[in-house]
Amino acid sequence: MSEEKSLNFLEEIIEDDLKNGKYKSILTRFPPEPNGYLHIGHAKSICLNFGLSKKYGGKTNLRFDDTNPVTEETEYVDSIKEDVKWLGFEWANELYASDYFEQLYNLAVRLIEKGLAYVDDSSAEEIAKQKGTPTQPGARNEFSNRSIEENLKLFLDMRLGKYRDGEKVLRAKIDMASNNMHLRDPLLYRIKHAHHHRTGDTWCIYPMYDFAHGQSDSIENITHSICTLEFIPHRPLYDWFIEQLGIFPSHQYEFARLNMTYTVMSKRKLLQLVNEGHVKTWDDPRMPAIAAMRRRGYTAEAIREFCDKIGVAKRENLIDLSLLEFCVREHLNKIALRRMVVFDPLKVVITNYTDMTELLKIEDNPEDENTTYREVAFSSGIYIEREDFMEIPPKKFFRLFPGGMVRLKGAYIIKCDEVVKDDAGNITELRCSYIPESKSGSDTSGIHVKGTLHWVSVKHAATAEVRLYDRLFTEENVADAEGDFKNYINPHSLQIVETVYMEPCLHEAKFDERYQFIRKGYFCLDKDSSEEKIVFNRTVGLKDTWAKEAKKS
RNA sequence: UGUUGAAUGGUGCAAUGGUCAGCAUACCAGACUUUGAUUCUGGUGACAUUGGUUCGAGUCCAGUUUCAACAACCA
């Protein structure tokens, strides 16, 4: 129980609250607005909220903040639920702010009765102007002097649909001179004659965020309402409502949202990428959306580990994308089945192997103590990777070159005897000889080679399409870069290799399986696969110190 | 020239007045390797700044500087 690991500031608060008896158990909530797909930034919030309640024996509600009918849709509700589940969390209750519309209306009435809210006929522009600026106080208008009775009547009329959109709003009566702009008589209700995804047409007035979120927390008896930094200035308002209404005192705490290098995280920008065709869909594997990452082959374990590693604090941050990639590799290394796939084939004829075919047993995963084995067909005609051969090798190159020897993974050591070229001087084929005593697992040749290559037998190979992804943006800090963020879209974020040559068992690849194409990276089956064509996504590449070395010279 | 919040290696997170300021990742070097992967070893590298309190300050106090958020009938 007594972990040495230090606590983050929220854990400290919670442990304090539990120790002092402020609460017997905690209740948190994850409150998405169903107007878009969840992304990796939400994953941080999900892991935090669900993680805290799990750690301290509490519960977490999933509550949809659905107070703006014009942007919200059931489609998003479904995707959000799927993503949270996939990440491995279970909510105690599935709830909706719209469930509380009647209660919220009554709370608003109570504020009016206390003389703390009034109906304002001003236009949006007028209200904005009357608010002043952060350095200049605002001023009340004549509508703020309406009687309680009149306000009650007008608010009811608003509800009854007697006014058009924008004709009237309900505002709290707080302090037009406050340093905090959110306390300058904030809007509570606005009129929207719009169809709501759950309440249909029963309402034409909808509460604003500030008059829905905190009250929903309170109704549910949320103990710790955890949100991002930009809500700090809302907290005095959050507390004001609780005090004035005398409802359950939920408390709001703020942490810094996740930012990641080479990535944008705002729903607006992500939506723009989809709508303008820079990516194909929300679940395009280049997107930071949870659905996209799932499709790309990221595991929930890896994402949870990532969220754990980045920690929780109150300072703005920009997390290296490479940390996410590290977490993914770390998990995939443990679970991925090893397979051999040649992307850019160079034919090798093993001249002394004649016309035999052998089935070689090769382990599925050397990282797994209980690894299973598969059989891979070996014959005299194989493909190797074109880049694994060089006619004039640079120093430190220990792959194949004329007169050189390498091991074929799981098979034999071969020696390059001859390079065959076409009339244009292109290398078309290598003629090699194999060392019969060097068979993998029973090598008595005594020969030690530095390089091991992956390969596939030409006549046994299956084919597939492979999609290679790179970061979506060329700029590390996209938000801070000058001008339109779309100027920094990486034109090479998707590279398609139409035909790769795979060892035959990949023909039966499964969706829930993860693969490491040896020396190539981690891959998974894409949903675009069909009977005619198998499609693989590269989740993430392997670390490649040779590529780094080669780049130096 | 308001209010609020935040300043620790490249990045992120710790150190709760007391040894050479840790951990992870990234980067560099080396070992091992039938994946130039994994694994292992070592290394470079930080308390924004000034003053004060104290035997002792990253931590407490004051000032300065920098960054961020805030004036949507969005959340």
Measured in angstroms, what separates residue A440's CA from nucleotide B26's C1'?
36
Asked about A243 being catalytic, the answer comes back as no
Distance, angstroms, CA A422 to C1' B25? Answer: 48
Q: Give the model confidence (pLDDT) of A414-452 as tens digits.
A: 999 999 999 999 999 999 999 999 999 999 999 999 999
Banded pLDDT at A4 (limits 50, 70, 90): low
Residue nearest to nucleotide B39 (CA to C1'): A367
Name the CA dihedral angle for A74, A79, A80, A81, rounded to a multiple of 10 degrees.
90
**Which nucleotide, over all strands, has the C1' atom closest to the CA of A67?**
B75
Span CA (A201) to C1' (B11), Å:
50
pLDDT at A2: 36
pLDDT at A447: 94
Does A267-337+463-552 match A341-454 in CATH topology? Answer: yes
pLDDT confidence band for A376 (50 / 70 / 90): very high
CATH superfamily of A341-454: Ribosomal Protein L25; Chain P (2.40.240.10)
* Structure confidence by residue, pLDDT tens digits, A208-258: 999 999 999 999 999 999 999 999 999 999 999 999 999 999 999 999 999
Quick one: pLDDT band at residue A365, thresholds 50, 70, 90?
A: very high
Read off the pLDDT of residues A510-538 as tens digits, 9 standing for 90 and up: 999 999 999 999 999 999 999 999 999 99
Q: What percent of chain A has pLDDT over 90?
A: 97
Asked if residue A352 has pLDDT above 90, the reply is yes
- What is the arithmetic mean of pLDDT over A196-216? 98
Average pLDDT over residues A77-87: 98
ipTM at complex level: 0.97
Q: Which nucleotide shows the minimum CA-to-C1' distance to residue A452? A: B34
**Straight-line distance from CA A495 to C1' B44, in Å?**
36
**The CATH number of the domain covering residues in A267-337+463-552:** 2.40.240.10
Q: Residue A494 and residue A292: Cα distance in Å, rounded?
A: 14
Residue A1 scores a pLDDT above 60: no
Whether the Cβ atoms of residue A211 and residue A67 lie closer than 8 Å to each other:
no
> Quick one: which H or E segment has residue A238?
helix A235-245
A184 as an active site residue: the answer is no
Catalytic annotation present for A347: no
Average pLDDT over residues A395-407: 96
Question: Can you give the pTM of this predicted structure?
Answer: 0.96
Fold of A24-255: Rossmann fold (3.40.50)
Average of per-residue pLDDT across A493-513: 97
Mean pLDDT in residue range A363-391: 96
Q: SS3 for A123-170, per residue?
A: CHHHHHHHCCECCECCCCCHHHHCCHHHHHHHHHHHHCCCCCCCCCEE
Helix segments in A280-320, DSSP class H: 290-296, 300-310
Round and report the angstrom distance from CA (A13) to C1' (B3). Answer: 25
Domain ranges of chain A: 24-255, 267-337+463-552, 341-454
Question: Of all nucleotides in the shown strands, which has a C1' nearest the CA of A169?
Answer: B73
Out of A29, A44, A63, A267, pick the active-site residue.
Answer: A267
pLDDT digits over A287-327, tens only?
999 999 999 999 999 999 999 999 999 999 999 999 999 99
**Nearest by Cα to A224 from A246, A247, A257, A253:** A253
Burial class (CB in 10 A: 0-12, 13-18, 19+), A87: buried
Nucleotide nearest to A210 (CA to C1'): B75
Pairing of strands A345-350, A381-385: antiparallel
Q: Which pLDDT score, from 0 to 100, does residue A356 have?
A: 85
User: Which pLDDT tens digit goes with each residue over A15-50?
Assistant: 999 999 999 999 999 999 999 999 999 999 999 999
- Mean pLDDT value of segment A395-400: 94
Beta strands in A168-273 (DSSP E): 169-172, 187-191, 205-207, 224-228, 251-255
Calculate mean pLDDT across residues A352-365: 93
Q: Which pLDDT score, from 0 to 100, does residue A355 have?
A: 76
Is residue A410 over pLDDT 90? yes
Distance in Å from B54's C1' to A255's CA comes to 34
Which residue out of A54, A153, A198, A257 is catalytically annotated?
Answer: A257
Burial A341-373 (b: 16+ CB within 10 A, else e): bbbebbbbbbeebeeeeeebebebbeeeeeeee
Percent of chain A with pLDDT over 70: 99
On strand B, nucleotides with any atom < 7 Å from a protein CB are 1-8, 10-16, 24-28, 34-39, 67-75
pLDDT value at A83 more than 90 = yes
Average pLDDT, whole number, for chain A? 96
Residue A549 identity: E
CB A38 within 8 A of CB A70: no
**Closest nucleotide relative to residue A182's CA, C1' based:** B70
* pLDDT value, residue A552: 76
